[in-house]
Amino acid sequence: MIRVKNISKKFENGGAEVWAVNNVSFGLESGIFCAIIGKSGSGKSTLLAMLGALDKPSQGTIDVDGKDVTLMSEAKLIDYRRNRIGFVFQNYNLVPNLSALENVMLPLEFAGINKNDRKSRAKKLLLQVGISEDKHNRKPLHLSGGEQQRVSIARALANSPKFILADEPTGNLDSNTGRTIVDLLKRLAKSENTTIIAVTHDQTIADQAEVVLQMKDGKLSMK
């Protein structure tokens, strides 16, 4: 489970201090599908970056299964990102000159899994997210937006993370494909017992979430 306590993130902007996230606290149990909604600039992506240890909060604590992420060394943070977190991005962020299969194999390589094992695991994950075998060796540019997002989800699942952090996962997709992706995330939350935190301003995602948090001017409120 994750417990966020009084975290804030401050930026300097032309000499003035801007609090992108201001004294936010919440907690989530494992296997929950949570949506954080809010307008652009409300601080939801900054909050997600801190939850995923991509950025450090200016103050506050993030407790994951009894360990404070904000106090971790750089080496521990790499380990945390590699094994506990899976990221899904709005624009997929697949490595363009690697095939779908190779993209999914990347986090497994970083985790030190041997080549044969990571290949079979990546194939299994791609099939699980609905990418047929004939597309496994295609480069991202030769896949549709929905397919690229599925590959991105498969990559996020590679090291069986405790959390999947999704930043606007349907932002670049049409509504039908977006709905399929949300269904997929929901299904995975249950089957893999993974907590999914999706940042979105898409109300249809929020409608399917078990927990909805709203960000406004850096402050969080339960909806």
Partner 1 sequence: MSTISRGMRNAFRNGLRTLSITVILAMSIAMALIMLMAMKTVEMKIESVKSSVGNTITVTPAGVRGFEGGGELLGSDDLATIQKTDNVSEVTAIVSERLNSDDTNLESPIEPGSFGERQNNRGYNGGGVPPESSSGDRKFTMPVTVTGIDNLENLSALNMSKLEITAGEKFLSGSEDKIALVGKDLAQKNNLNVGSIFSAFNQEIKVLGLFDAGNTFANAQLIMPILCVQEISGQKNMYNSFIVQVDSVENLDKVGDSISSALEDKADVVSSAQSTESIIKPLENIKSISVYSLIGSVVAGSVIILLTMVMIVRERRREIGVLKAIGSSNYGIVSQFISEALCLTLISSVAGIILGALLSNPVLKVLVNNASADGASGVPGATPGRGMMRMVNAIPGIQNTFRDISAVLDWSIVLYGLVVALLIAIIGSMLPAYFIAKVRPAEVMRSE
Q: Which stretch binds partner 1 (CB under 8 A): 50-58, 122-130, 134-142, 185-193?
A: 50-58
Measured between alpha carbons, how far is 13 from 41 in angstroms, rounded to an integer? Answer: 14
Which of residues 95 and 127 has its CB atom nearest to partner 1 in the complex? 95
Beta carbons within 10 angstroms of residue 183's beta carbon: 11
Collapsing DSSP states into helix, strand and coil, what is residue 68? Answer: strand
If the CB atoms of residues 93 and 180 are measured against partner 1, the closer one turns out to be: 93
Residue 107 C-beta: closest distance to partner 1, Å: 5
87 binds partner 1 (CB under 8 A): yes
DSSP state of 221: E
Residues within window 142-161 making contact with partner 1, judged by CB under 8 A: 155, 159
d(CA 63, CA 162): 13
Helix (H) or strand (E) segment spanning residue 177: helix 175-191
Instruction: Judge contact between 42 and 213, C-beta under 8 A.
Output: no
> Pattern 51-80, binding to partner 1, x per CB under 8 A?
-xxxx-------------------x--xx-
User: Taking CB under 8 A as the rule, does residue 49 contact partner 1?
Assistant: yes
Binding residue count for partner 1, defined by CB under 8 A = 33
Half-sphere exposure of 6 (CA within 13 A, CB side): 2
Shortest reach from residue 93's CB to partner 1, in Å? 5
Q: Report in angstroms how near the CB of residue 104 gets to partner 1 at its nearest.
A: 10
Q: Which of residues 166-185 bind partner 1 (CB under 8 A)?
A: 167
* Backbone φ and ψ of 100, nearest 5°: -55, -45
CB of 173 to partner 1, least distance (A): 16
DSSP letter at 72 equals -
d(CA 34, CA 205): 9
Residues that bind partner 1 (CB under 8 A): 45-46, 48-49, 52-55, 75, 78-79, 81-83, 87, 89-91, 93, 95-98, 102, 105-107, 109-111, 155, 159, 167
